[in-house]
Amino acid sequence: MTHWHAQMGLRTLGPIAVALMFVAAQAHPGSAQNSRIGAFAGFNTNEQEWSPDAEVERVTGLVVGAFVDAATPVSGISVLAEGAFIQRGGDVVDSGTTLVEGAVRTDYLAVSVRAKMALDAGPARLHVAAGPAFENVLRSRVSPGFETTLEREGRSVFGILIGAGVGVGIGQGRRVGIEGRLFDGLGDAYTGDFVSVRNRSWEAVVRFGMPIPR
């Protein structure tokens, strides 16, 4: 099951990456901006919402990935596509009488495509970006007590990814920056008998990018 999820994630990511590379190559010649490629890394703090209600502690996980920032004919507007490895989870510490207590951990291959708006502010460049994200399950682990409560493999999740950040140039068109992001899962990450679980994460990443030669 895990291998199948990984294959599906790669099949989803591949066409999007190719499409964005094509868009980048066709960027408007008169645009003041260049299309860019790069990488990012950081962490997320995930909060799981359980139904019925349970007291769940937040869990910190890794975020690491790559991006294509494709320029458009409109200065300051671009399309930002990302592929990332992301860890999410939660620790149930008080379940009342309905659920057992324990840990849930999931690794995802996430793909997002966001509309991005950027503005220069002196030497810095500010941006906001928002759009859909799809997270494919690579691996999921649940505490033994949850094995009869939740589907062990978890589910691929559709959600919304919103972010804002700032970057500065470091020469030769290269840029480093930071971004704060919110991922809000719109679908259930886990389900079971009379139980459902959704993810919401705050993320912080450091970004490095360089222009794609025209």
Instruction: Name, in order, each residue with C-beta under 8 angstroms of 175's C-beta and a sequence gap of 6 or more.
Output: 36, 38, 125, 167, 168, 169, 207, 208, 209, 210
* pLDDT at position 50 over 90: no
79-90 pLDDT per residue, tens: 999 999 999 988
Rg over CA atoms, the chain: 19
Domain that holds residue 109: 2-211
Half-sphere exposure of 78 (CA within 13 A, CB side): 26
Mean pLDDT score, 34-62? 87
Is the whole-model pTM more than 0.85? no
Domain count, the chain: 1
According to the per-residue pLDDT averaged within each range, which of 18-27, 29-38, 54-63 is highest?
54-63
Residues 155-188 have pLDDT tens digits of 788 999 999 999 999 988 899 999 999 999 988 8
Retrieve residue 93's tokens: 């510490």
What sections of 81-198 are H helices per DSSP? Answer: none
Give the strand pairing for 174-185 and 190-192: unpaired
Measured between its terminal Cα atoms, the distance across the chain in Å is 42
Instruction: Give the CATH number, domain containing residue 6.
Output: 2.40.160.20
**152 close to 133: Cβ distance less than 8 angstroms:** no
Please tell me the distance from the alpha carbon of residue 4 to that of residue 142, in angstroms, as a whole number: 19
Residue 122 pLDDT > 60, yes or no? Answer: yes
Closest to 82 in 3D by CA, of 28, 130, 150, 122: 130
